[in-house]
């Protein structure tokens, strides 16, 4: 049935709340788990904005941007390695991936490219004006893919 399960993570406890369900399903189905974190580049854009307003020289700002991006990618890779090791210790096969861009778009793109059968993700549970202003990655994924999406609401 489901042989490739995607679990998007953002490093928060809320996103990690989908892991127990993903673990249980993957074990019972013999599925491979794909852990994906998307770097949305918010820190990087702040650095670039500084260059746009003349607070940094462009060569310097590009160097700083490169360093910030490398440090962010290293943090993400370490996080995914740690989470993946926990799943692998339960006998699961785990694939880690890091993408750069808009989270919902990259989650859907990765799912299609990797032959994902099921996406399991949590929701932050924002409502009202905050959801309208910030948006919901989970909602955007659900509306952008033909794949089944299992949404976990954290306690």
pLDDT band per the 50, 70, 90 thresholds, residue 88: very high
Other C-beta atoms closer than 10 Å to the C-beta of 39 total 19
d(CA 101, CA 2): 27
133: pLDDT strictly greater than 50: no
The overall longest dimension of the chain from CA atoms, in Å, is 56
Other C-beta atoms closer than 10 Å to the C-beta of 153 total 12
pLDDT tens for 21-47 read 999 999 999 999 999 999 876 544 555
81: pLDDT strictly greater than 60: yes
Average pLDDT, integer, range 111-140 = 78
């Amino acid at each position: 049935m489901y042989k490739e399960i995607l679990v998007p993570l953002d490093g928060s406890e809320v996103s990690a709340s989908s892991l127990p369900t993903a673990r249980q399903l993957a074990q019972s189905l013999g599925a491979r788990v794909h852990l994906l974190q998307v770097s949305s580049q918010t820190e990087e854009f702040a650095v670039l904005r500084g260059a746009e307003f003349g607070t940094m020289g462009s060569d310097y700002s590009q160097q700083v941007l490169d360093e910030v991006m490398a440090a962010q990618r290293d943090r993400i890779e370490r996080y995914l390695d740690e989470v993946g090791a926990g799943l692998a210790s339960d006998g699961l096969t785990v694939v880690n991936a890091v993408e750069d861009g808009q989270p919902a778009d990259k989650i859907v793109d990765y799912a299609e490219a990797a032959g994902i059968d099921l996406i399991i993700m949590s929701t932050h549970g924002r409502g009202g004006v905050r959801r309208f202003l910030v948006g919901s990655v989970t909602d955007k994924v659900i509306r952008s893919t033909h794949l089944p999406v299992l949404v976990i609401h954290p306690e």
